[in-house]
Structures are given as structure tokens and as C-alpha cells.
Amino acid sequence: MSSFRKAVEARDPDAMAATLAENVVFRSPVAFRPYPGKAITAAILRGVLRVFEDFRYVRELTGAEGRDHALVFEARIGDVRVEGCDFLHLDGNGLIDEFTVMVRPLSAAQALAEAMTAQFDRIQREAVN
């Protein structure tokens, strides 16, 4: 999963989007319903780049068949420290078709929900353009 990780670490939204399958499904740590599709997922990831500060991956785990990955991260939203994990599944072409994010502690999830809510009108506009 080095291509996605490298894109995130470079803060390159175009390279991040290039790793997504058209039918990717994004599951947010703060929203119940999943977000299907590359356009909305890429827009959400751009929003996350605007919200997270001092983002860094600290561990990467790969499943036995190489299609499942867990990327453990640390970041900050203002003064709130965030610990989390990106759970990724790759399709047969090596593109991300399932993307689930979990964060802790509760204060981090609340800060993320607030920050992403403030971004969501922009995210929705970016998804349709």
C-alpha cells in the first residue's frame, strides 16, 4: 500500500485519488452512512488534508494475501491529539475499493466531526466538479 501512503505523506491529493477505485466506498469514523464513489471519497480526503495537522503514519500492517492493509496514524486537530487507523482493501487491480477510518479518543472523534462538518459544503462542491 506504499503508493497511497506515499501520496498521503507527500500531501498530494491527485496521487491519493489515483489509488482509488471508481466504486470505492468510504466509511467515516463520525458518519453512520458510507460514502460510495471515487469523487466523494477523493473530496473527503482533500478535506482531511485541510483538517489534520502534523499527520504521520506510525505503523503499517498487511494481510496475508496483500489486499488488506491497516495504516496506523497520529495527527492533531488544533490542540487535540488524534490516533487512528485507515483500513484499506484493494480490488483485483490494486486500487482501494473499501476505505474505513477509525479514530480515538472520543475527544478526537468529536474534534474531527466538528472540523469535517465545517468542511462538508466545500467537500460536496468538490465532489461534483
Q: pLDDT for 32-63, tens place per residue? A: 899 999 999 999 999 999 999 999 999 999 99
pTM of this prediction? 0.93
Burial, 10: exposed, middle or buried (Cβ in 10 Å; 0-12, 13-18, 19+)? exposed
Domains detected in the chain? 2-128 (3.10.450.50)
Q: What is the pLDDT of residues 79-88, one digit of tens each?
A: 999 999 999 9
CB atoms within 10 A of CB 32: 6
> CB-based contacts of 119: which residues, under 8 Å, 6+ apart?
47, 50, 51
